[in-house]
Amino acid sequence: MKNSLRKFADSDLDQLDDDDMTEGKISGQISRLIDSTDSGIDVFEHGTVISVGDRICRVKGLADVMSGELLDFGGGLTGMVMDLDEEIGVVLLGNDSHLREGDEVRRTGKIVSVPVGDAMIGRVVNALGHPIDGKGRINTDLTRNIESPAPGVLHRKGVNVPLQTGIKAIDALVPIGRGQRELIIGDRQTGKTSIALDAIINQKGQDVICIYVAIGQKESTVVDVVNKLKRFGAMEYSIVVSANASEPAPLQYLAPYAGCAIGEYFMYNGKDVLIIYDDLSKQAVAYRELSLLLQRPPGREAYPGDIFYLHSRLLERAARLDEAAGGGSMTALPIIETLAGDISAYIPTNVISITDGQIFLESGLFHAGVRPAVNVGLSVSRVGGDAQMGAMKQVAGTLRMNLAQYRELQAFAQFGSDLDESTQKTLNRGEHMSWVIRQRQFSPVSVPDQVIQILAASEGFSDEVPIERMDDYLEKLVLYVKTNFPAYEGEVMTGAKLKKDSMYLLQTLIREFTDRYLDKVKKASADEEK
C-alpha cells in the first residue's frame, strides 16, 4: 500500500482538469489516476544504505538495478550506480550531509540524463543540466542519456569540410575539419583556453552551435569565460557546462558526457557542433578518485584499468554523419594539461592516440612572446589538407617546413658569430613568417586575409619590411588587395584553389604594395635622419 501511494504521489497531477472543478469531477479524476497507477508488487523497488562517505555510498536490496541508473535518496539527493556487486556502489550527485546508514533508497528506473534542445542555447548549466546562471528554469521537455553509443562506421562521412578557428597558426598548419577530434595540449598557462575561446568566437555567423565544458575550473574562471563570450556575442549560439573545482568528483566526471549529450541532440538533428572539453586531465583525476574510493584495483599512476575507455567512449561520439543518420557533425577540441611539457605521460599519450591530431603549445615559445605558442614540429592534424580550403593549401604548403628549419637554425645561430649570407637570409625570412602567424587573443582573421598575409611572408615579399612595422604592413596590405581585387574574397571562399590568373594577380598586387610601402619607409627614415 505504501508503495502504491508513493507511486500515486509521483504521478502527473497536472492531468487533473481545471475546468468545472466540482467535488464529483475531482473525485472521479482521482479515482482514474489511482486505477491507472501500477500497483503491482515490486519487492526490489527499495534498498537500504549500508555505508556512506566521501561522496560514495553502498546500498543493498536492489537486485534488478542497472549500471548508470539514477537512484533517489530523498531530500533532493540522487546518485548514479557505478558498481554492480553484492553491495551496489553508488556515486552521490549532490550534498550528502543528511544521508545516514539505514536510510531508504529508491530506484527510478532511469539512466542518468540531461535536458537537451534549443532552449539550452545561451545558458550556463551544471553537470546534470540544471541552470546555474540565475535565468530561471530551462523550458524543454527533451532529455538525452549522458552515455550513448558512438555513431557506427557506416553512418560516418569523411572529414573534409573545414571548421575555421580564425587563428592563422592553426588554419594554416594544423587545419581542423567538422567532425574531427583535435587535441589542444600544453603546460599550465600556455594559452590553451584562449585558443578554444577564439575558435568559439570565430563561429559567429557560421551556423555552428558551440559548447564549452569547464571541468575542475575555479568558479571565477568560468564566470570570466562566460563574460568574454557575452562581450563578443558568442553566447547567442553557445552553451556552457560547468563542474567547478569546489564540486564533488562525480560531477566533474560526468560533465564532459553531459556536454556531449547536449551536443549530440543538435548533431543528430542536422546541426554542426563545436565542443570544448577544458580539460580532460582533471576529469581523469576525478575518475581516479571515484575508482579508488570504490576500491577498484589501481594501475599505472594509480589510474584504474579502464581509464583509456573513459576518454575513448567520449571522443568517439564526435563525428560527421551522413544524411540517413541526421547529417550533422560534432567537432571535439579536448584540452589536456601537461607537466613540464611531458607529452609521454599516461593521460596525454592515451588522448593523443584517440584523437586525430594535436596542437602542442610550448611554454618556451609562450614566454618568448610567440602567441599562440604553437610548436609546429609536434603539432599535427591527421586530417591534413582534406579539411583545408584550396587557396590556403596553395600558400601554406611549405610554411611548416620553413618554420621548422628557421627554429632549428635560430637555436644554432645563438652559438655562431659569423653566419653566411644564405643562413642569414633563411633566418630573416623565418623571422618574418614567425611574425605573420603571431596573433592577439580575440582577433580572429578570415581565411582570405590569412591567405594574403601568409603568401606575403612565405614567398619572401615581406623580407625587407622592418619587423617592428610588420603589423602595420600586413593590415594595409590586406586592404590594398581587397580594394584592387574585388572578386578575391568570393573566389577564396568557394573552397577551390585560386586560378592561375588570380594567383598571378594576387602576387602582383602584393609586390606592388610592398615596393610602395618600402619606399615610404625609406623616405620616412631619411626624413628622420635629417
Amino acid letter at 211? I
Q: Hey, what's the cell of 113? A: 540524463
Cβ–Cβ < 8 Å for 262, 144: yes
Distance CA 183, CA 444 (A): 20
Which of 382, 400, 407, 469 is the catalytic position? Answer: 382
Interior/surface letters 346-359, b for 16+ CB within 10 angstroms, e for the rest: bbbebbbebbbbbb
Is residue 382 annotated as part of the catalytic site, yes or no? Answer: yes
Instruction: Return the number of other C-beta atoms located less than 10 Å from residue 397's C-beta.
Output: 13
First to last CA, the chain: 103
Q: Hey, what's the cell of 353? A: 592516440
CA 306 from chain center: how many Å?
Answer: 23
Which residues 6+ apart lie within 8 Å of 481 measured at CB?
Answer: 452, 488, 506, 509, 510, 513
Distance CA 510, CA 321 (A): 41
Which residues 6+ apart lie within 8 Å of 354 measured at CB?
Answer: 181, 308, 311, 312, 315, 316
Distance CA 110, CA 489 (A): 52
Catalytically active residues, by annotation: 382
